[in-house]
Amino acid sequence: MLDIIRDNWLLLLVGQYPTGPLGGLVLTLILSVMGLLLSFPISIGIALCRTSPIRFLYVSSTVLVYIVRGVPLVMFVFWGYFLVPILVGHSVTAFTTLICTLIVYESAYLSEVVRAGIQALPKGQVEASRALGMGYWKTNLWVVMPQALYNMVPSIISQFVSIIKETSIGYVISVQELTFSANQVNNNLLTRPFPVFLILAITYFIVCFVLTQCAQHLERTITRKRSPKMTQLRSIANDSVLEGQ
Amino acid sequence: MIQFSKVNKWYGEYQALTDVTAEVKKGEVVVICGPSGSGKSTLIRTVNRLEEIKSGVICVNGQDIHAPGLRINDFRSGIGFVFQSFNLFPHLSVSENVCLAPVRVSGRSKREAREHAAALLDRVGLAHKANAYPQQLSGGQQQRVAIARALAMNPPVMLFDEPTSALDPEMVGEVLNVMKSLARDGMTMVCVTHEMGFAREVSDRVWFMDRGVILEENAPEAFFTAPQHARSKAFLSDLRAH
Amino acid sequence: MLGRLDFSAIFAGPFAHLLVSGAIKTFELTATSWTLAVGLGVVLAVLRASGFPIATKAVAAFVAYHQNVPMLVQILLWYFGVPTLLPDAAQTWINAHDGELIFASIAVGLCMSAYFSEDLRSGLRSVHHGQQEAARSLGLSFFGTMRYVTLPQAIRNALPTFINHTVLLFKNTSLAMTIGAAEMTYVVREIENETFRTFEAYAVATLFYLAVSLGLMGLGALVEKRIQNQAR
């Protein structure tokens, strides 16, 4: 198994770069970071709609989230592959399709995390802020969001881990991320699928496990700083996170 | 300063406030007392519209607070509110808690707000805690910060919703002292409280509420020594029994 | 574009039958992997709760692996990797007996067993220690306490997350298409290839998944309500 790593580590790390497009583990991480950063603002918007007193916003955002929760990621990827070129007007790379799909998918799941964070805040915080004369937007900007997001950092990291795992779906539409690259190695070697895929699994494991440990460490730190109620309500957020994959 | 005129409120089938009509004059200190469930907290929360009303009029400084279409945020900063559970913002320091509304609502500069906050914190005896965080303070200290925070917007009237009920007994005094000094400085105050000593010492009038109605209204001495209504008598004797 | 939709094309001829077989395959996959996941999940949770350090560490490692490796990769490892470790006779047998179903079920089942065991574990942890103390002082044994006091409450507390993970398991069966299992997603892609009616084909699959997922969530809500009422 070590000889496979020794011979193919470059392909697994960066794909065909520099003779081809960037791929491998680096592409996986780029996809994941982009997915998180781009879906984050959208997820905050959806979470605000989900907690909004305006009925139209509440219903439409709830429908969106339930659709995403009810349909497999693979189906979304195929929809993206079909719809994105139509919406944009010209053909797009598989990378673009994957990013668009991930953003839509992740915004919905991440919004559940943010929503749990918002609802975990004691009602008194909003009341105190409103009693001082701060309106809806000011209250959210200066009182609700800073606290909700800080409390939800461990859950957001867990969701990031889910995104990393979800990027493996790029294999299906030939995005050259880590899983696809490992498959290429397997196709080259042909007779040693088990070690190749085991290396693939271990690579994901190391990356995701380290991040999960960071999240758990942060969770302990934050719990020490805030009230115990947060732990109970953050576990609700974690439930929606683990749905991601 | 505050006028209640035939105020009614329902929670579903349950009538929380029934035809409440009363007035708080400028500079007056009014204490609202009564058994739990009497509607005292509900009444005080309708003043800055944390609770809605079904019918009736509530005027604060001449403005009908429950007028439909009213931009309530503009008027809330003119009404100081102190909560039973303090509700300080844990992610901000003490000074930042006090400065938040002046900076973000009134648009004052941060330097100006900080100086004003320092003066207010000094007034409540917590100047040395300006950079501490709420979690590092005792309950009594947190409530005093909450009072400073409400004062930061220079409201003409201050509302207190059971400000000492969540405090350990030894910290009640420090908060009451701040409230007494405010009263002596001429602040218009409405306090829902069980602290009868405070009521006797600084209030101008006591309202006794039971089941959503103001049953009795009197000067404190008169109320405590010679309650008129049967239920006020029962309430006061229950209090004295402890 | 909407005016030119033609759903009849994808229901015509052999395609209707194909859709049905795809749905059936999805349900088969769901049933087998769910059974494996629940059974193994309970065993893992009990092992972990037993307190023996070897058991606890082994279960923790199992859970950590399955929660940190993508499900797709687990399926690929099982389907492409594991058979090469087996003797030839076994490989022939597997190929003759729907190897895709077998390995996809194993992969999904093992992965979700990790999640289910964690659900049960947090369910068990959520039951106050005082409950067990009370039961033991009444004279109940360890297993009696488990059976009559702890587990019923643990299951009630774990139910919402458990339902969510069941829906997740159902959705994850779609990944079996990558190894050629003829479940719904795979079938719909075939139909799309033949008829070029991409929107209609995908819409049918999407509605199928949505209906079952929402149905499962609704069923879960019903069960939860029933249990809440019993508790009163």
Q: Do A132 and B100 touch (CB under 8 A)?
A: yes
- What CATH number does residue C122 fall under? 1.10.3720.10
Chains sharing 3 or more CB pairs under 8 A with chain C: A
ipTM over 0.85: yes
Instruction: Identify residues of A whose CB sits under 8 angstroms from chain C CBs.
Output: 66-67, 69-75, 78-79, 82, 161, 165-166, 168-169, 171-172, 179, 183, 186, 192-198, 200-201, 204-205, 208-209, 212, 235, 239-240, 242-243, 245
Contact B158, B182 (CB under 8 A): yes
Distance to chain A for C231, nearest Cα, Å: 21
Number of domains in chain C: 1
**Partner-chain contact B89 A225, CB within 8 Å:** no
Identify the domain containing residue C31 by its residue range: 7-231
Distance CA B19, CA B211 (A): 12
In a domain, C1, yes or no: no
Amino acid at A98: L
Residue C2 domain-assigned? no
Asked if the Cβ–Cβ distance from A198 to C81 is below 8 Å, we say: yes
Within a domain: C201: yes
**Sequence-ordered alpha helix ranges (H) in chain C:** 7-11, 14-50, 53-68, 71-76, 88-96, 99-125, 129-137, 142-145, 151-172, 184-195, 198-231
Q: Do residues B114 and B95 lie in contact, with contact meaning Cβ atoms separated by under 8 Å? A: yes
Q: Please check whether residue C64 is in contact with residue A209, taking contact to mean a CB–CB distance below 8 angstroms.
A: yes
Neighboring chain A residues of B50 at a CB cutoff of 8 Å: 127, 130-131
pTM for this prediction? 0.80
Give the DSSP letter string of B161-191: ESTTTTS-HHHHHHHHHHHHHHHHTT-EEEE
pLDDT grade for B176, boundaries at 50, 70 and 90: very high
Distinct helix (H) and strand (E) counts, chain B:
9, 10
Q: State the pLDDT confidence band at A227, using cuts at 50, 70 and 90.
A: low
Percentage, residues of chain B above pLDDT 70 = 99
The rounded percent of chain A whose pLDDT value lies above 90 is 56
- Please check whether residue A40 is in contact with residue A48, taking contact to mean a CB–CB distance below 8 angstroms: no
- Rounded to a whole number of angstroms, the distance from the CA of B89 to the nearest CA of chain A is 7
**CA-CA-CA-CA torsion sign (C166, C169, C174, C180):** negative
pLDDT of residue A240: 53
Q: What is the token pair recorded at C68? A: 């940190």
Kindly list the residues from chain C whose CB atom is less than 8 angstroms away from the CB atom of residue A69: 167, 213, 217
Q: Inter-axis angle of helices A24-50 and A193-225, to 10 degrees?
A: 40
Task: Considering only the beta carbons, identify the residue of A128, A133, A147 that sits closest to B105.
Answer: A133
- What is the enclosing helix (H) or strand (E) of B30? strand B29-33
Instruction: Identify the sign of the CA torsion A210, A215, A219, A221.
Output: positive
Pairing mode, strands B29-33 and B205-210: parallel
> Distance (Å) from the C-alpha of residue B237 to the closest C-alpha of chain A?
33
Q: Do B73 and A134 make contact, defined as CB atoms within 8 angstroms? A: yes
Give residue-wise pLDDT tens across range B184-242.
999 999 999 988 888 888 899 999 998 888 888 888 888 888 888 888 888 888 877 65
Do the Cβ atoms of A43 and A111 come closer than 8 Å?
yes
Only one residue has tokens 């003066």, namely B119
Count how many domains chain A has. Answer: 1
The answer to the question of residue C193 being in a domain is yes
Residue to mutate among A66, A71, A240, with most C CBs inside 10 A, is A71
Nearest CA in chain B to A125: B87
Is A245's CB within 8 Å of C168's CB?
A: yes
Range of the domain at A197: 2-244
pLDDT in tens, B85-144: 888 888 889 999 898 888 888 888 999 999 999 999 999 999 999 999 988 999 999 999
Q: Which residues in chain C are contacts of A215 at CB distance < 8 A?
A: none
Cβ separation A128–B79 shorter than 8 A: no
- Determine the Cα–Cα distance for residues C71 and A201; give it in Å rounded to an integer: 10
Q: Write the CATH number for A146.
A: 1.10.3720.10
CA–CA separation, B159 and B189 (whole Å): 6
